Amino acid sequence: MFKFKPKIPTLARIPSEIRLSSQWIKARSSSNEDINVEKLFVDQEVQKLLTDLTEIDLEYKVFRPRRTSIQQRSHFALMTEERLEKTRERMREEARRFLQFVPVKEPRVESVQILAQDSELKDFDTSKFVFTDITFDATDQDRTVVVREPDGTLRTANPEEHDRMNRTYYQKPNRPVNAPALFTDPYLQNALDKNEHEFVLDWACWFYEPDDPSYIRLSQLVFDRINESGKFHVITSTRHFGPFTFFLALNDNVPKLLNYFGGLGRLADCANLVRLQKAVRPDWRVTIAQGDSDEKIVKDFIKQNARFRDQIGDLQAFISTGKVKSEHEAEKHFGLRERLGRVDKRRVRITSGNIRGSEGPLGELSDEYSVKVVKSEGTVGSDGTEKKEEGRGRGRWRSRDQNTDDKKEE
């Protein structure tokens, strides 16, 4: 017996070339209509700049301890310097594979296609009927899913219904049928307050497809909150930092990230971020010559964008004084010269006379905090020298003193 499979026309995706505007660009203008975001993101120059901006922190970010269901035992090995360097290079190559960027895709069209209008089926049932193609060779992307409405209309499924049927028939671990509550407020904001940005974005990549409209809305929401709060450190050295930086450059919103790089003294990254902005927006007002140095590019950006000066205070301080943000804060609030590498090499003898002053080992901290000296080992005489008190020692020294006194009495 032959089975005839009806040929259902699939809903064709609208090419990115004929889209009115990209969903990744918030500001609507005539110049934005000419930007092909998907093609621009995979451009060789843009990818190189994004890769250079994504620092590789092997110990504290890429290969940091993580919560997994598989227990792994730590491995220690004794290596030569040559073997250690080869191992580190191999780890860097593996880290580059882990940091491969999440693709930036335009969202699928959320409109549906009407396949048939069967009025005789109207009010047959109060619920919708969903028909899913579960053929073995069908993939999650091209699987046919159609919906019969209660009024008799047969239509194609929208992206949310299509993906929900895939999750229903082809389940995967940690991918429930319905979207987790974590992707909506207030649970989303609670996770971001705990700096769980990477966890949220990783789970979103596992739950959604890159061209899912819900994924694009969620990722943009997380990106905006990172930029507003200035918590750029939570997303550095991750596979999401490239799309995040690209999203900021698309929307001409790089000052805060530029100030973050400047506060860390990363002048080369500041220049690369300006180059990225120019590559994404060729009509941008900032001009960059072929042989311009990193410092000149950053200075030209500051000069030609006076409206951003209030947002790039740390960068301007680094350009003018050569000090990073941590040094300014240390000198302003703590006065700890040791943290800045300017350690006083003179050996200070701690006495009750100098421990309370600014010349003592506490430095300027002695003016902010009261110092109390407890005399436990000896007393200080009128000439400033310490004198040992009899019978005040501890441990074996006290026992030795007692034995000496006993011998004298005998």
Cα separations in angstroms, 325 against 54, 147, 210, 308, 335: 20, 58, 37, 18, 14
Report the C-alpha dihedral over residues 284, 287, 292, 294, rounded to 10 degrees. -40
How many other C-beta atoms lie within 10 A of the C-beta of residue 180?
15
Q: What is the pLDDT of residue 289?
A: 75
Tell which residue, 19, 269, 257, 215, has the closest CA to residue 103. 215
Rounded to whole angstroms, how far apart are CA atoms 62 and 55?
A: 10
Tell which residue, 196, 185, 135, 139, has the closest CA to residue 163. 139
On whether the CB atoms of residues 159 and 108 are closer than 8 A, the answer is yes
DSSP 147: E
Residues paired with residue 153 on neighbouring β-strands, in sequence order:
117
How many other C-beta atoms lie within 10 A of the C-beta of residue 405?
12
Residues 6 or more apart whose CB falls under 8 angstroms from that of 89 comprise none
DSSP 175: B
How many other C-beta atoms lie within 10 A of the C-beta of residue 224?
15
Residues 6 or more apart whose CB falls under 8 angstroms from that of 403 comprise none
Angle (nearest 5°) at CA 276 between 32 and 261 = 125
pTM (two decimals): 0.71
Q: What is the pLDDT of residue 351?
A: 57
Q: What is the pLDDT of residue 341?
A: 41
Could you report the average pLDDT of every consecutive run of 10 residues in the chain (410 residues)?
Answer: 42 42 72 79 94 88 80 81 91 90 91 90 89 87 91 92 91 89 94 94 93 93 95 93 94 92 91 91 76 87 86 88 68 41 43 62 66 54 49 47 52
On whether the CB atoms of residues 53 and 276 are closer than 8 A, the answer is yes
Tell which residue, 229, 271, 276, has the closest CA to residue 248. 276
Q: What is the pLDDT of residue 49?
A: 93
Q: What is the pLDDT of residue 405?
A: 52
On whether the CB atoms of residues 2 and 227 are closer than 8 A, the answer is no
Which SS3 state, helix, strand or coil, does residue 231 take? coil
Tell which residue, 372, 124, 357, has the closest CA to residue 348. 357
| CA-atom Rg of the chain in angstroms | 33
Residue 174 Ramachandran class (φ > 0 left, ψ -120 to 50 alpha, else beta): left
Give 83-115 pLDDT, tens digit per residue: 999 998 999 999 899 899 999 999 988 889 999
On whether the CB atoms of residues 108 and 213 are closer than 8 A, the answer is yes
Give 180-199 pLDDT, tens digit per residue: 999 999 999 999 999 999 99
